[in-house]
């Protein structure tokens, strides 16, 4: 038999012989025993029935006892914010606020992570873009130079062709001269 485990103040759960009906009965009893209050309504500090409300009543008390209490209350009035902090359920509210802030922080952390990831990706992409732009520029220069070189080569080719033709004519003239000279020598 497992030891019954006391979860909250009054809900007892026997894990070895778990019985949801029993848990629900305990929940119902607990709710019935609690004073009914609207969950939206919260006690206003200093309101009816509070410490400070009672203090006001006490001030009105007559007699020596009343006067002494009046004097004491006046004495502690400067410390009222500190007393309020300790006595009123500020701690609970701070805890709730802290919990929601913690949750918000978690979400913000995740967003920051996502943001840093995005920034990293943007950097990588812009580096790639710059590199590609440089490549394009180089290719443009290369093609320009190729065109210039090809034009030069074409001109060169034309020159060589002309030179070749002149040389052919020279050769033809020389051979004619050779023949003429040979004729003169042998005749």
Among 110, 126, 132, 175, interactor with another protein by CB under 8 A: 110
DSSP 39-52: TT--PPTTSTTSHH
Strand-pairing partners, residue 6, are 12
Among 6, 91, 106, 121, interactor with another protein by CB under 8 A: 106
- Nearer residue to another protein within complex by CB, 109 or 178: 109
Shortest distance, position 3 Cβ to another protein, whole Å: 12
Contacts with another protein by CB under 8 A: the residue count is: 25
Interface with another protein, residue 19, by CB under 8 A = yes
- Nearer residue to another protein within complex by CB, 27 or 61: 27
Interface with another protein, residue 28, by CB under 8 A = yes
Among 9, 21, 57, 63, interactor with another protein by CB under 8 A: 21
Determine the Cα–Cα distance for residues 16 and 1; give it in Å rounded to an integer: 6
Shortest distance, position 43 Cβ to another protein, whole Å: 15
Interface with another protein, residue 91, by CB under 8 A = no
- Nearer residue to another protein within complex by CB, 39 or 75: 39
Q: Give the residues lining the site for another protein (CB under 8 A).
A: 5, 7-8, 11, 13, 15, 18-21, 23-24, 27-28, 30-31, 39-40, 96, 99-100, 103, 106-107, 110
């Amino acid at each position: 038999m497992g030891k019954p485990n006391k979860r909250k103040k009054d809900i007892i759960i026997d894990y070895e012989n778990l019985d949801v009906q029993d848990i629900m009965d305990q929940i119902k009893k607990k709710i019935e025993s609690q004073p009914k209050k609207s969950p939206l309504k919260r006690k206003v500090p200093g309101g009816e029935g509070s410490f400070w409300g009672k203090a006001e009543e006490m001030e009105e008390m007559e007699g020596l006892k009343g006067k002494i209490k009046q004097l004491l209350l006046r004495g502690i009035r400067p410390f009222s914010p500190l007393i309020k902090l300790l006595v009123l359920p500020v701690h609970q509210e701070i805890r709730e606020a802290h919990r929601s802030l913690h949750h918000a922080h978690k979400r913000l952390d995740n967003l920051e992570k996502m943001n840093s990831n995005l920034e990293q990706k943007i950097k990588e992409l812009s580096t790639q873009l710059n590199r590609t732009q440089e490549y394009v520029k180089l290719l443009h220069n290369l093609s320009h130079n190729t065109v210039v070189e090809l034009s030069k080569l074409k001109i060169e080719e034309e020159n060589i062709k002309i030179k070749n033709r002149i040389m052919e004519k020279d050769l033809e003239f020389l051979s004619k001269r050779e023949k003429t000279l040979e004729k003169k020598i042998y005749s």
